[in-house]
Amino acid sequence: MKKKETILDILIRNWRIRQAEQYIINRGVVCDLGCGREGFFLTKISGRINRGIGFDMEVEDMERGNISLIQANLDKGVPLDDSSVDCVTSLAVIEHVNCYESFAREIRRILKPGGRCVLTTPAPRTRSIWEFLMKRGLIAQTEDIHEHKKYFSEAELVALFEGVGFLQVKFRKFEFGFNNLIVAKK
């Protein structure tokens, strides 16, 4: 059972969401990979999009208005057709997958031509800060953080997305340099 979120957890999540939501393609189909149990991000942007599809291992399949949440293991691929979505979001997820190159290829595969990927992931220097905050009980994300398989530098993220065929890859840091944002166009 997960611990109750702290105020700092909520602030960090909301900051991540604010970074991503400005790149959403309005009136499009958005797929959120690693949407969480509640599909929080898709619910927040539901008024701006035609349809939202969220995948996560912890979610129970459900339909809620224009939002579909589907249980799926993202290490086994994304159960969507090729070129079927306008925008893919993945907020603080790629650091949890077993094969990040396959994950990036799947994102590219499901995007329509000209579609956009919006992805966030903690920067390498974040690990020690997370551990400090966890020990003091300031964040409750202990299980999630211990499951991080890789922390990505700017060069690694850009190379990954360019390497799987994205045409435009833009990178920037946020949260005082503790988080990375990639916006990549197919």
> pLDDT tens digits for 148-169?
789 999 999 999 999 999 999 9
> pLDDT tens digits for 37-93?
999 999 999 999 999 999 999 999 999 999 999 999 999 999 999 999 999 999 999
- Cβ(123)–Cβ(173) below 8 Å: yes
Phi, psi of 39 (to 5 degrees): 65, 40
Give CA–CA dist 68/4, Å, rounded.
Answer: 25
CATH architecture of 7-185: 3-Layer(aba) Sandwich (3.40)
Domain ranges of the chain: 7-185
How far are the Cα atoms of 51, 124, 174 from residue 55, in angstroms, in the given order? 14, 26, 25
Number of neighbours of residue 85 by Cβ within 10 angstroms: 25
Position 11 scores a pLDDT of 81
